[in-house]
A and B are shown apart, each in its own frame.
Chain A
Amino acid sequence: MRHFVIVGILVIVMASLTYIGLDGIGLMPVAASAQAIPIDWLWNWQVVAMSFLFSLIVVPMGYSLIVFRKKKGDTTDAEHVEGNTNLEIAWTVLPLFLVMIFAYMGAFSLGEVLRVDPNAMIIKVKARQFAWTFEYPDTGIVSTELHLPYNRQVVLEMESEDVIHSFWVPEFRVKQDVVPGRVTEYRITPSLVGSYKVRCAELCGTSHSYMEAPVIVDEVADYDAWISEQKALTAAAQTPEGQGQLLTVSNGCVGCHSVTSTSLPTAPTWFGIYGSQVALADGSTVTVDDAFIRESILDPKAKEVAGFSPTIMPPYTLTDEQIVNIIAYIKTLK
């Protein structure tokens, strides 16, 4: 009996310490969405259960290993105890109750996460290897950054052009795969102003690690300012160069092709590329001119630039005018 009392006390002490320790080191990143609240609530109860069950097994195990060790020179066996049916029933039925409680909490928490605001704003998300593009249908804005207004529910209607991707912002907690051939929905209510990143969570190929894009939660005023700024940019982009720049965003080109002086790992930068000589994978060199760029858009595998092969870029079907505009835009990058 003495043994049971000691172990009982130790279990409670250890469970409390485990929970306090786990809670204290901060297991989750900051919560930046309304949906994170029911998730973190359930997670917290899971940690409570984990701490308790961990102690419930580990303490009597450790205690037995110390107290019930065989004495030196003792060759006899232990007391013959085969089992105890009441005990077995107890530790089958009690966990069943625990399971039912967690099943209820799980369903409740899921319900909260899925709660629909009929006035939610729609944003379309396009995923492709290895870039995210965001379209705001109300205003016609296309961006590689996702700007969201504070405290308003948005529905991301997500489509993939190639393989399966997954939209995950750790601070929002929620994750949703983006599957070719269907539209999947991601419903979120940002609740903390700040700058985060969407990170593709479903292995999508060679540069999967780099398929990230900024997600910015703005105060409503800042968000409105960003929208009008983008609208102005779109309107101003009536020049061929401006149209070209929009095309490179909406087609996801700039997910792989940098426009600054350093290349991303997946593709050569466009910065200063026009008119330069580049080495090809087959050892020859080529001057980057209109014809080369046109060919590289329509048939990316025709001439592969050294250091990036084998090319992972899909062929694009664009009109002549669009290609001319893109070339005009690339010319400006220097």
Chain B
Amino acid sequence: MKRFFSTALMRGLFWQFVGTLVGAGLVTGIRALMGLSVTDKFFFTEPAWVLGGFFGVLFFLVGNGVTGDWIKWARGIDTPEHHEEHYSGWEKYFNVSLDHKVIGIQYTVTALVLVSLGGLFALIFRTELAQSQLQFLTQDLTLFSQTGPQLYNTLMSLHGMIMIVSILLGIAGVINYVVPLLLGAQDMAFPRLNAFSYWIAVPAAVLLVMSLILGGFDTGWTGYPPLSARAPVGMQMFFLGVFTAGWSSILGGLNVIVTVVRMRAKGMTAMRMPIFVWASIATSLISLTATQLIGLSFQLVMFQRLFGMGFFDPPKGGNPILFQHLFWFYSHPAVYVFVLPGLGVISELLPVFVRKPLFGYRWIAMSSLGIALVGFVVWAHHMYTSGMNEYLRVPFMYSTLLVAIPTGVKFFSWVATLWGGKITTPTPMLFVLGGILSFLLGGLSGPPNATVSTDLHLQDTYWIVGHFHDTIFGGFVFPFFGAIYYWFPKAVGRRMNETLGKIHFWLMTPSFLVLTLLMMRVGLLGMRRRIADYDPALGFDTYHLIMTIMGYLIGISVVIFLYNFFNSIKNGEKAEGNVWNSRSPEWQVPSPMPTHNYDRPFEVIGEPYDYGLANAEYIRFLEPEKSKHK
């Protein structure tokens, strides 16, 4: 126990607490000297909480040691280029490590923790929706100084953003773990920056959860002003949390790009890279260049609240619609950040389980870049009803429809890969197939939102909720689970239980499909998004009851997964060899992967997916095998 409390995680959290008090105290002191009020509803005033939150993050990052080497360098002290691990076993994962594999697992587990939290929030408000009228989130309820409906809005908003952060961490986890292995690199290009990108996400998550306690906020994850300019202090913690988490995305994206450009194995030309690397590049280009805009838009509202700068305040000449442009300039491409790695996982895993080359490798690789580029010029399709210039809607309709083309290329290529293969369906493959089906539903429910006139009906309804849950489950959740089942043996040397994996899949998939199809159904008939209660006259009670049951079934399936995950670390069946009979380099060495990855460098001499071609090797190790590998 003592060792747990002295880990970098706990030290960081302790210093974040101290930093928050220092920052808040500083502002409170200055306010006292200026003769301003020093306390408010949540003890400190709003400016005090904001600086407190900011200091908390800084103190965390200094206190837990992730910035230690940089601080030493600044003071002129040299440190060794490579760090040896100081910890072993579980402690490795709670302390600062520069090993991309450890960081990948840290990201992944943190993502699973946040997924569970966000899912829990969803189940709470889904329960309230099971029947029309308010049942337990009523006006009489007061929790965290919020009435029931306010709490509903806070939970609904936090469900959105916590899931988004968990997705960003989840893809960072898979990319971090897998990309250097696929490239034959020892680590990421900037190991310290890599650790920093992970650890900054932890205080960010704490800030997001703090918003729940500090009065919450009722704007949804989009935080549109003027509503967000009026919300309780929790709003500021939300803004600050997202702002902080954005750094993780930006720096992580930078790291991936440099790693891919600089650290590929000998002979690995662009068109011989595993397809997942292409997806990682596409997604990193977006997170490196677009994340700034959501940070900026939230920062502007923060300043509007703190300093009375009327950026989006009409009486002061501000423009609320400007916020929406800034916000969606990131938040639309962000959707492609979420799904491109997942689609990459699908393309990466399909050939292994079909025993056939990936159909149209180059086209799939280019379609990822195509989606990423088109994704930058479609943002205003979220704003057809916003009151922006009417004629501006038309070019955005055209550009949005174009997304269908590269996305279609992916689907057709996957089907062609399956065609004529020799298919097996162990758990990872099931999740790949579930991902394709779910993403197909998400993709096909997209064009009606792209054409302006139909979107006038669909915008802000449950149809949209169903549509994007399909895209996110298909583009992220299914492939993410698939990737965990697939690479788990590589990381642990044991495999996850196959029966439990199949129960997880067969419980989650039908429940999820029913859930989202019903969401679309009620949306078309008049169910708005983000409402705590709905008109009983609409006759949606039965639909909502079924949706709530489906939500719980998904929850149960995820609990089964979590049990399987943590239980298999110690008790899973041993799997140290090439369990999936894959051609990929990481499976050509024993599992678990040694600390510095490949102990002999390899050279790429063929194509990555030449299944079914005799004597077509992908890689060749440059040195003969050393005496027994430890």
A28/B524 in contact, CB under 8 A: yes
Closest to A202 in B: B460
B612/A79 in contact, CB under 8 A: yes
Binary CB contact string for chain A from 45 to 89 against chain B (1 if under 8 A, 0 otherwise): 010011001100110110011001111001011111111100110
Q: Which of B1-9, B18-26, B419-427, B552-560 is the interface stretch?
A: B419-427
- Across the interface, which residues of B come within 8 angstroms of A265, CB to CB? 134, 138-139, 149
The size bracket of the interface on A is 35 or more
A79/B356 in contact, CB under 8 A: yes
- Across the interface, which residues of A come within 8 angstroms of B401, CB to CB? 99, 102-103, 106
A203/B612 in contact, CB under 8 A: no
Q: Is A207 an interface residue (CB 8 A)?
A: yes
Instruction: Enumerate B298-345 residues with CB–CB distance to A below 8 Å.
Output: 314-315, 318-321
A95 to B531, CA, bound (A): 37
B355/A57 in contact, CB under 8 A: no
Interchain CB contact (< 8 A) of B456 among A92, A174, A184: A174
Q: Is B613 an interface residue (CB 8 A)?
A: yes
A98 to B440, CA, bound (A): 17
Q: Is B451 an interface residue (CB 8 A)?
A: yes
Instruction: Enumerate B517-549 residues with CB–CB distance to A below 8 Å.
Output: 521, 524-526, 528-535
Q: Is B611 an interface residue (CB 8 A)?
A: yes
- Across the interface, which residues of A come within 8 angstroms of B409, CB to CB? 88, 91-92
- Across the interface, which residues of B come within 8 angstroms of A199, CB to CB? 526, 528, 535
Instruction: Enumerate B326-377 residues with CB–CB distance to A below 8 Å.
Output: 354-357, 359-363
Interchain CB contact (< 8 A) of B423 among A27, A53, A70, A166: A70
Interchain CB contact (< 8 A) of B422 among A77, A106, A208: A77
- Across the interface, which residues of A come within 8 angstroms of B230, CB to CB? 162-163, 205
A99/B404 in contact, CB under 8 A: yes
Binary CB contact string for chain B from 600 to 626 against chain A (1 if under 8 A, 0 otherwise): 000000010011110000000000000
Q: Is A168 an interface residue (CB 8 A)?
A: yes
A82/B359 in contact, CB under 8 A: yes
Interchain CB contact (< 8 A) of B451 among A78, A106, A112, A205: A106
A107/B357 in contact, CB under 8 A: no
Interchain CB contact (< 8 A) of A113 among B150, B421, B441, B456: B456
Q: Is A204 an interface residue (CB 8 A)?
A: yes
Closest to A210 in B: B533
Instruction: Enumerate B80-137 residues with CB–CB distance to A below 8 Å.
Output: 134
The size bracket of the interface on B is 35 or more
Closest to A114 in B: B390
Q: Is A136 an interface residue (CB 8 A)?
A: no
CB distance from A95 to the nearest CB of B (A): 5
B456/A29 in contact, CB under 8 A: no
Closest to B140 in A: A307
In the complex with contacts A61-B436, A70-B423, A96-B405, A29-B612 CB distance below 8 A:
no
B387/A184 in contact, CB under 8 A: yes
Q: Is A39 an interface residue (CB 8 A)?
A: yes
A177 to B386, CA, bound (A): 5
- Across the interface, which residues of A come within 8 angstroms of B175, CB to CB? none
Q: Is B447 an interface residue (CB 8 A)?
A: yes
- Across the interface, which residues of B come within 8 angstroms of A98, CB to CB? 404
Q: Is B563 an interface residue (CB 8 A)?
A: no
Q: Which of B165-173, B218-226, B484-492 is the interface stretch?
A: B218-226
B218/A99 in contact, CB under 8 A: no
Q: Is B258 an interface residue (CB 8 A)?
A: no
Q: Is B402 an interface residue (CB 8 A)?
A: yes
Q: Is B394 an interface residue (CB 8 A)?
A: yes
A178 to B441, CA, bound (A): 32
CB distance from A84 to the nearest CB of B (A): 7
CB distance from B387 to the nearest CB of A (A): 4
Binary CB contact string for chain A from 94 to 110 against chain B (1 if under 8 A, 0 otherwise): 01101100110111011
CB distance from A26 to the nearest CB of B (A): 9
B418/A77 in contact, CB under 8 A: no
A308/B445 in contact, CB under 8 A: no
Closest to B403 in A: A99
B387/A182 in contact, CB under 8 A: yes
A109/B139 in contact, CB under 8 A: no
Binary CB contact string for chain A from 178 to 217 against chain B (1 if under 8 A, 0 otherwise): 1111101000000000000101111111111110100000
- Across the interface, which residues of B come within 8 angstroms of A163, CB to CB? 226-227, 230
A50-B444, A109-B451, A179-B387 are known; give 12 further A-B pairs, CB within 8 A: A54-B441, A68-B419, A77-B611, A79-B356, A79-B612, A110-B453, A170-B526, A203-B220, A205-B227, A206-B149, A265-B134, A265-B138
6 contacts between A and B (CB under 8 A): A64-B418, A79-B420, A81-B359, A84-B416, A182-B314, A209-B531
